[in-house]
């Protein structure tokens, strides 16, 4: 799992800080969380391919989180026979995209699937062969979603000696057992994966939480995450501004990450009131509550290793 911060700013793009956007690469597939204005620039700088983009998950319909979607979709249509694209988001995300397409008259040559939040929506918004994506409402000035990405658990460690003792020689049958399939020995005995595999090994967990006041839902999204990208929009001394605008301070985010058991936290969605020389102050304030926290910068890449 590789996480690429395309933009770390909030409200307005800055010369060296684009708006909120996080790309996650898994087994050659790209998943994008938010696409603020100018996301195409971050995408180009990171040299990411449009054919690999499979899912865009949008937190809410504020301009600094969704205005980059039409441009990404238009550029993707420049390819020959691009694969389908799925957009996940709040109520209105389909209207936003369809109306932009209608008014701007831009060309789309691939299927687009929309998954919109509803009151009776299941906890799992999306799943494929790599991951599943969960969502949960947050607490902002308008309806906003947080996301959790979970890689599927991996099979347990294969016990070769046990397989041979059960009459399964090395070869294709070992591969089937490792994939979770039962096999038969030459004598006709059935051997199940549980007989030769250890306990399942957990996959990686990622949380993406921006534009929210502290709320219980954040803990569910961040619980025991390997990495969490959380908004750190304000310093603690600007807490009144944060509360009035529906945002967290860096200490709010650090406190929640620590209590939720997050292994590493990256703060993003930084207010434009802070210049680059102010970022060490935000980081220092957050680390008073949680040591494993850093302030993200545009184009930084975070590799998330498999847990032991």
Residues forming the active site:
64
**Which residues in 60-86 are b (16+ Cβ under 10 Å) and which e?**
bbbebbbbbbbbbbbebeeeeebeebb
* Separation between Cα atoms, residue 250 and residue 235, nearest integer Å: 6
* Separation between Cα atoms, residue 151 and residue 247, nearest integer Å: 28
* Separation between Cα atoms, residue 156 and residue 202, nearest integer Å: 9
* Separation between Cα atoms, residue 25 and residue 2, nearest integer Å: 5
- DSSP E strands in the chain: the ranges are 2-7, 21-26, 29-33, 53-57, 85-89, 112-116, 124-127, 131-137, 145-151, 183-184, 190-191, 205-209, 227-231, 265-268, 293-295, 301-303
Candidates 49, 32, 38; CA nearest to 15 is: 38
What angle is formed at CA 241 by the lines to CA 238 and CA 246, rounded to 5 degrees? 125
Q: Are 30 and 24 in contact (CB under 8 A)?
A: yes
End-to-end CA distance of the chain: 15
For 296, phi then psi, to 5°, come to -75, 150
């Amino acid at each position: 799992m590789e996480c690429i911060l395309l933009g770390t700013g909030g409200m307005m793009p800055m010369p060296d800080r684009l708006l909120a956007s996080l790309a996650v690469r898994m087994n050659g597939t790209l998943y994008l969380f938010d696409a603020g204005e100018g996301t195409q620039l971050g995408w180009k700088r990171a040299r990411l391919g449009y054919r690999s983009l499979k899912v865009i998950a949008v937190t809410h319909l504020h301009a600094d989180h969704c205005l980059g979607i039409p441009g990404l979709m238009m550029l993707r249509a420049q390819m020959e026979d691009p694969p389908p694209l799925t957009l996940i988001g709040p109520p209105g995300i389909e209207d936003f995209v369809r109306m932009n397409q209608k008014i701007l008259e831009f060309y789309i040559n691939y299927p687009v699937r929309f998954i919109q939040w509803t009151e009776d929506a299941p906890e799992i918004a999306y799943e494929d062969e790599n991951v599943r994506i969960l969502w949960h409402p947050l607490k902002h000035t308008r309806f906003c979603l947080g996301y959790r990405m979970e890689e599927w658990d991996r099979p347990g460690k294969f016990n070769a000696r046990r397989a041979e003792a059960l009459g399964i020689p090395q070869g294709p049958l070992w591969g089937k057992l490792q994939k979770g399939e039962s096999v038969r020995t030459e004598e006709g005995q059935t051997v199940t994966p549980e007989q030769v595999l250890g306990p399942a090994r957990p996959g990686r967990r990622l949380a993406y939480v921006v534009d929210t006041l502290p709320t219980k839902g954040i803990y569910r999204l961040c619980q025991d995450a390997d990495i969490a990208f959380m908004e750190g929009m304000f310093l603690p001394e600007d807490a009144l501004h944060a509360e009035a605008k529906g945002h967290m301070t860096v200490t709010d985010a650090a406190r929640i990450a620590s209590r939720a058991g997050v292994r590493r936290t990256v703060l993003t969605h930084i207010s434009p009131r802070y210049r680059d020389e102010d970022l060490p102050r935000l980081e220092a304030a957050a680390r008073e509550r949680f040591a494993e926290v850093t302030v993200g910068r545009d184009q930084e890449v975070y590799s998330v290793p498999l847990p032991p």
